[in-house]
Amino acid sequence: MEPSLSQSDEAPRGRPVVRLRPKAEARAIRHGFPWVYADELVLDRRTQGLMPGALAVLEDAERRPLALVTVNPASKIVARVLDRDPAAEVDEAWLAARLSRALALRERLFDEPFYRLVHAEADGLPGVIIDRFGGAAVIQPNAAWAEMHLEALAAALRAVTGVTTIIKNGSGRARGLEGLAEETTVLSGGVAGPVPVPMNGAIYMADLTGGQKTGLFYDQRPNHAFAARLARGARVLDVFSHVGGFALAALAGGADHALAVDASAAALDLAGQGAAKMGMADRFATRQGDAFAALEALGAEGARFDLVVCDPPAFAPSKQALEAGLRAYERVARLAAPLVAPGGYLVLCSCSHAADLSAFRNACARGIGRGGRRAQLIHTGFAGSDHPMLPQLAESAYLKSLFFRLDG
């Protein structure tokens, strides 16, 4: 039988105590790993009875305090480290301190307030994503504790940044894993329509209330910039383009023409609005539909482009989906490679944390070879600096972008 916690097992402030199993690795927590998995924690009736998002003191098997954690007995990640101080008070002031530290980094990196302000565990706010769009911000509270503290988090966000509009985007796979319902709502202020976002010389239109995720993907910013250098005078194909990601950056970089392909008509409409605001609508076109079908159709049409970019959603969102995901990435590379003109460039991206860089690169290489092409790998890109990586958590470095030059 598992050892149980008695009613006297309470930390200061009356907090419950949760304890690692004897064989669990406490050293990882001491060295900065932020998660405790369900099979590493003593899950007696008292622990299982804790409300999702409750705060508790984590102890090692010898009953030595390790950290203040938030507990969700319904999640595979049963505990997340909030503070190294087990007596810390998680209130508006605590949240404001974390936000201020995150803001200081972004203000040093960027001249304008358009960036990812909080990147979850890497910024000390587990499961919390906050993207900033000038005077507006979108919060994704993807962990139960953040949902419980959302009002204080929003208040701290207003105080620290001065934003007047705050939107909660409660959608996505991560919330489902935490047992949280999907809900998107305006917490304060409001937006009259899509928000223009300047980035890499392009203008993107972000739908903060109805768009995918927070409305825009900031993570590809440096990869957009690198692709734009390859796009001067080029014909560009951007597949899985969302609101024009690589296509609009390529136009800003001097591309002759860009074609954006996406399954979402709404996203392509926003991409068209962005191209119009840039004064480049005449050099921009869209094709709505399934990306694989579009790649096959363009191949059948004999279409050729100087730069082809494929930035799909996460095909391997979990270890269980890894094999199928790698096959999908290989298929993308196989269909895209023949569309690249001799001496042109192919950019293949993955946002699947379950597919590490080596596995993704090998899948892409196989696909390019099966597409009848040979390639040089000229650059490997990752997420921008507003998406910092927690060194102890490989999952925080999820984005990979491979830039190939294809032979004749």
CA nearest to 246, candidates 204, 193, 283, 277: 204
Question: pLDDT tens digit string along 272-318?
Answer: 999 999 999 999 999 999 999 999 999 999 999 999 999 999 999 88
Whole-structure pTM value: 0.93
In words, the CATH class of domain 195-406 is: alpha beta
Domains 12-83 and 195-406 share a fold: no
Overall average pLDDT of the 185-208 stretch: 96
Distance of alpha carbon 225 from alpha carbon 23, whole angstroms: 47
What's the pLDDT tens digit per position in 130-172?
999 999 999 999 999 999 999 999 999 999 999 999 999 998 8
- Band (pLDDT 50/70/90 cuts) for residue 4 is very low
For the chain, give the secondary structure using H, E and C.
Answer: CCCCCCCCCECHHHCEEEEECCCCCHHHHHCCCCEEEHHHECCCHHHHCCCCCEEEEEECCCCCEEEEEEECCCCCEEEEEEECCCCCCCCHHHHHHHHHHHHHHHHHHCCCCEEEEEEHHHHCCCCEEEEEECCEEEEEECCHHHHHCHHHHHHHHHHHHCCCEEEEEECCHHHHHCCCCCEEEEEECCCCCCEEEEECCEEEEECCCCCCCCCCCCCCHHHHHHHHHHCCCCEEEEECCCCCHHHHHHHHCCCCEEEEEECCHHHHHHHHHHHHHCCCHHHEEEEECCHHHHHHHHHHCCCCEEEEEECCCCCCCCHHHHHHHHHHHHHHHHHHHHHEEEEEEEEEEECCCCCCHHHHHHHHHHHHHHCCCCEEEEEEECCCCCCCCCCCCHHHCCCEEEEEEECC
Q: What is the pLDDT of residue 9?
A: 56
- For residue 6, the model assigns a pLDDT of 39
Considering only residues 27 and 324, tell me which one the structure prediction assigns the higher pLDDT: 324
Instruction: Specify the fold of 12-83.
Output: 2.30.130
Tokens, residue 319: 């270890």
Q: Domain 92-188 carries which CATH code?
A: 3.30.750.80
Percent of the chain with pLDDT over 90: 88
Spans of all domains in the chain: 12-83, 92-188, 195-406
- Count Cβ neighbours within 10 Å for each residue of 124-145 and write b for 16 or more, e otherwise: bbbbbbbbbbeebbbbbbbbbb
CA distances from 348 to 85, 108, 146, 203 (A): 43, 30, 34, 23
What's the average model confidence in pLDDT over 186-192?
94
Q: What residues are annotated to the active site? A: 351
| Count of beta carbons in the 10 Å neighbourhood of residue 328 | 21
Burial of 90 (0-12, 13-18, 19+ CB in 10 A): middle
Query: In the prediction, which pLDDT does 10 show?
Result: 60
